[in-house]
Structure 1
C-alpha cells in the first residue's frame, strides 16, 4: 500500500548552466549535464525522500530514458508503474543562470501517451492511498480520471496546476481538494476561469484579503496554496474547511537558503506537502506548509531537479 500516489511525467533533463539565460539569436557558453526530471517524477522522488511510501504512475518509452527512470526509482525505494509507449521517453531542455533562475523547454514524448485506460486499471491502488498528487504535463483527460477516481474513494486530491500554459477546465479544478499554483500559474487560472487580471509579479504584494477572495472564486470548496518562491506561500481555505488551522487565510515566510539552482523547487514543495499530509493527516495544515517550505528551500541548495531533492522527513 502506498500512502502517496503521484500521477505525472518523467523527463530526461538536459541542463546548461550559464552566466545569463540565452536571448533570441544568441550563442553562449555553458556547462552541461543530464539527469532525471519531469514534474511528476520530481514530485514523486520528493514525496519518497520526504518519508512517504510512494507510487509513481507514468508512461515511458522502451529506451535508455525509460531504463533510467526505473533504475532511479528502484534506488530511492519508489514504486514505479509505467504504461509502455512506442514514443520516446520525455525530455527537457533547461538553462540555469548564475542567479539560479531557469528557462525550460519540454518534449512530451511518452508523457503525452499516458492513457485513461491505464489509470482506470490502477483504481485499487488509487483508492488505497492517503493522498493523490497530479500535475498538468500529462493529458488532461488522464489527469481528470485520476483525480476523479481518487476523489470518489475519499482520497485527498492535490493538483499542482503546472505548467501555467496547460489547458484546464472548471471540472478539473473542482476535483482538487488542494490546488497549488505558483504566481504565474495562479494569474493564468484567474484570467481563464475568474475573468480577473493580475500580473504574476504583483501576486505576492497583493493584500491577503484580496488574494483570499480571488482564491475563493477560483476554488470555492477547497484549499489554494500559492507558492511565492523566496517570499514563501499564501494559504486560502474555504470557510468551513480550515484543515486544522485557526484562520481562513495566512502567509508563511520562506525558509532561508543558500540558493544555487531553483529548478524543481516547486516540485519539491508539492512532494513534501503530500508526504507530510500522508504522515500526519490530522495536523494543522500550516504545519504541512512549513515542512514543504523547508524541504523546497533545501532543494535549491543543490543542482538538478529530481537529484536535488533532499532527504528530509516531517519528523526532522
Structure 2
C-alpha cells in the first residue's frame, strides 16, 4: 500500500552543460549527458528516497525510455503502473550553466496520452495512498481525475502547478489541499485566478502580509507553499485550517547548499513534502523544513531524478 501516489510524467533528459546559457542565435561548446527525469518521476523518486512507499502512474512508449523508467522505478521500490502509448516516451532538453541555473524544453511524447479513464481504472492504487501528488506535464483531465479520487477517499491532495505555461483551471485548484508553486508559477496563477499582477522576481521581496493575502485569494480553502529558491519558502494557511501550525503565515529559510545543478529542485521539494506528510504527524512547518533541506541537498548533485538524495544521508 503506497503512502504517496504520484500521477505524472516521465522523460528521458538530454542535458548540455556550458559556462553561460546560449542566447538567441548563439552556439556554445559544452558537455552532454543523459538520464531520467520528468516532473512526475522526479517527485516519485524524491518521495521514495525520502522514505515513503510510493506508486507512480504515467504513460510510456514502447521503447528504451520506457524500459529505463521501469528499471529505475523497480530499483527504488516504486510501484510503476503505465498506460501504453503509440508515441515515444517523453524527452527533455536541459541546458545548465556554471552556476547551476537551467533552461528546459520538453517534448511530451507519450505523456500527452495519459487518460482520465486510465487514472480512474487505477482507483484502488490511488485510494490506498495518504497523499496524492500531481503536476501539469500530463493532461489536465488525467491529473484532475487523480485529485478527485484523492479527495473522495480522504487523502491529502497536492498540486505542483508546473510547468508555468501549462493551464491550471479553477476545477483543478478546487481539488488541491496543498499547492506548491515557485515564484514564476505563483505569479502566473495570480494573474489568471487571483486578479493580481505581480512580476515573478518581485515575489521574493513582497512582505508576508501581502503574500498571504494573494495566497488566500488564489486558494481560499487550502495551503499554499511558494518555493523561493535561495530565499526558502513562504507558507500560507486558511485561518481555520493551520495543519498543526501556530500561525497562518510564515517563511522558512533555505538550507545552506553549494549548488551545481538546480534542475529538479522544485520536484525534490514537492516529493519530499508529500513523503513527510504521509509519514509523520507533526506541525506543517516541520514538513516544510524537511522538504527545504531535501531540496537543497538535491542541488548539490547533477541531474534530475538521479540527484534526489536518499533519506539516510540527510540524517533525518
The alignment's TM-score, normalised by the length of structure 2, stands at 0.99
CA RMSD of aligned residues (A): 0.8
Which residue pairs with 2:160 in the alignment?
160
Does the residue aligned with 1:117 lie in a helix, a strand or coil? helix
Which residue pairs with 2:290 in the alignment?
291
Which residue pairs with 2:137 in the alignment?
137
Does the residue aligned with 2:261 lie in a helix, a strand or coil? coil
TM-superposition CA deviations, 1:89-147 (whole Å, max 9, x none): 00000000001100000000000000111100111111111000000000001111110
Which residue pairs with 1:214 in the alignment?
214
Deviation at 1:201, TM superposition (A): 0.4
Which residue pairs with 1:304 in the alignment?
303
How many pairs does the alignment contain?
315
Which residue pairs with 2:269 in the alignment?
269
Deviation at 1:258, TM superposition (A): 1.1
Q: Distance in 2 between matches of 1:126 and 1:162?
A: 21
Does the residue aligned with 1:29 lie in a helix, a strand or coil? coil
TM-superposition CA deviations, 1:31-87 (whole Å, max 9, x none): 000000000000000000000000000000000000000001111111100111010
Deviation at 1:12, TM superposition (A): 0.1
Does the residue aligned with 2:311 lie in a helix, a strand or coil? coil
Is 2:67 aligned against 1:64? no
Which residue pairs with 1:77 in the alignment?
77
Which residue pairs with 1:50 in the alignment?
50
Does the residue aligned with 1:58 lie in a helix, a strand or coil? strand
Does the residue aligned with 2:271 lie in a helix, a strand or coil? helix
Which residue pairs with 1:175 in the alignment?
175
Does the residue aligned with 1:150 lie in a helix, a strand or coil? helix
Q: Distance in 1 between matches of 2:74 and 2:131?
A: 21
Q: Distance in 2 between matches of 1:82 and 1:141?
A: 16
Is 2:170 aligned against 1:198? no
Deviation at 1:315, TM superposition (A): 6.7
Matches within 5 A, 1:228-239: 228-239=228-239
Q: Distance in 2 between matches of 1:6 and 1:169?
A: 20
Q: Distance in 1 between matches of 2:92 and 2:22?
A: 16
5+ residue gaps in structure 1? none
Q: Distance in 1 between matches of 2:195 and 2:160?
A: 21
Q: Distance in 2 between matches of 1:135 and 1:77?
A: 21
Does the residue aligned with 1:274 lie in a helix, a strand or coil? helix
Closer, same or farther: CA 315–133 of 1 in aligned 2, 3 Å: farther
Is 2:9 aligned against 1:19? no
TM-superposition CA deviations, 1:223-268 (whole Å, max 9, x none): 0000000000000000000000000000000000011000000000
Which residue pairs with 1:100 in the alignment?
100
Which residue pairs with 1:91 in the alignment?
91
5+ residue gaps in structure 2? none
Does the residue aligned with 1:204 lie in a helix, a strand or coil? helix
Q: Distance in 2 between matches of 1:41 and 1:78?
A: 10
TM-superposition CA deviations, 1:186-208 (whole Å, max 9, x none): 00000011221110001011000
Runs of 4+ in 1 over 3 A off after TM superposition: none
Q: Distance in 2 between matches of 1:120 and 1:102?
A: 35
Q: Distance in 1 between matches of 2:216 and 2:12?
A: 37
Q: Distance in 1 between matches of 2:194 and 2:24?
A: 34
Which residue pairs with 1:185 in the alignment?
185
Does the residue aligned with 1:35 lie in a helix, a strand or coil? strand
TM-superposition CA deviations, 1:7-38 (whole Å, max 9, x none): 00000000000011111111110100000000
Which residue pairs with 1:35 in the alignment?
35
Does the residue aligned with 2:23 lie in a helix, a strand or coil? coil
